[in-house]
Amino acid sequence: MKKAAFVSFAACVLVGMASAGQQSVLDHYAAAATAADPGFGGFSANRGEAFFLAQANVNPDTASCSSCHTSNPRSPGKTRAGQRIEPMAVSVTPDRFSDLAKVEKWFRRNCDTVLKRECTAMEKGDFIAFMSSQ
Amino acid sequence: MRTSSAKLALAAAIVVLAACVENELEGPSLTDKAAAETIGGSPGGRGQAAVVPAAGTAAPITEKSGEQAFTSECGACHFAFPPQFLPVRSWQAIMAGLDSHFGENASLDPDTAKQITEYLVANAAGPGSPVLRGLDPQDTPLRITETRLWNRIHHEIRPSVYDRSDIKSKANCLACHNGSGAGHDD
């Protein structure tokens, strides 16, 4: 009984206390990442952080994710038109990354805007892993 | 003391109820209403374009949910501009090009895009609107700030104002307007 409680606690810590919705989104990307690369070894918050902060410089108005979201995931961001963006960090905005359709909508738009390409399942999962750790 | 508290609570309840009832009857938000009054026109065909529903159909709910989709989807990135500030052809052109929307991909799923387009078309600048005055029928402005009406109203604002870090854009209406449709803070 004690052991089961510990395992459950450890699992919650490992996945950053992901909600059921967040876990199902992560599972979706993990399956897609495995399909793309059978040697896929899990998502990395560190890779996600590097991806979030990278200056792609493909689009001068939106050189990086952090151009709008700021470099601190726990801070609110601002769109180019001046609208507030709720913080990306799950600790501050708990319902982030829990609705796959919404998550896919924003990756589809923002990867195209910032990188002029689609993001891979691994990039998406790493990004969510980083935001879940924040 | 107890009586006065009870009276206050009753008065508050009446005010809240009245506000709800008014909202139900008027439909458009305060911002929409004020904007319509500012440009001196009716809210361009609001209601007129709605199909008269047979009993039990959901047409009015569709109109309402179109407005909700517009406010939540478009308002996620920018002020949800009142539809009556642009003609029908402008909204159609904007909604047809969402994958390249002023330098950003703002694409939507087809059902939501259709719902929002219907709302915008039904509430766009209608005949007699000052928005259409001086606008060539061939001209399809994609920004409200391109219209002659907007420029006539805002010609005294120094261009540097729009570059301020707390304003950032001419599209940030609420940086200066308080949503009542009148005046500005500074």
pLDDT 10s digits, B79-132:
999 999 999 999 999 999 999 999 999 999 999 999 999 999 999 999 899 999
Question: What are the C-alpha distances in Å from B9 to residues B15, B17, B21, B25?
Answer: 10, 12, 18, 24
Report yes or no: A82 at the B interface, CB cutoff 8 Å. yes
Asked if residue B18 has pLDDT above 80, the reply is no
Q: Which residues of A touch B143 (CB under 8 A)?
A: none
Report yes or no: B109 at the A interface, CB cutoff 8 Å. yes
ipTM entry: 0.84
pLDDT 10s digits, A94-134:
999 999 999 999 999 999 999 999 999 999 999 999 999 99
Min Cα distance B80 → chain A (Å) is 10
Superfamily of domain A3-133: Cytochrome c-like domain (1.10.760.10)
Q: By C-alpha distance, which of A68, A71, A111, A75 is closest to A93?
A: A75
Q: By C-alpha distance, which of A117, A97, A81, A98 is closest to A48?
A: A97
Q: Which of A79, A86, A88 to substitute to test the interface with B, most B CBs within 10 Å?
A: A79
Residue boundaries of the structural domains of chain A:
3-133
Structural contact between residues B50 and B27, judged by C-beta atoms closer than 8 angstroms? no
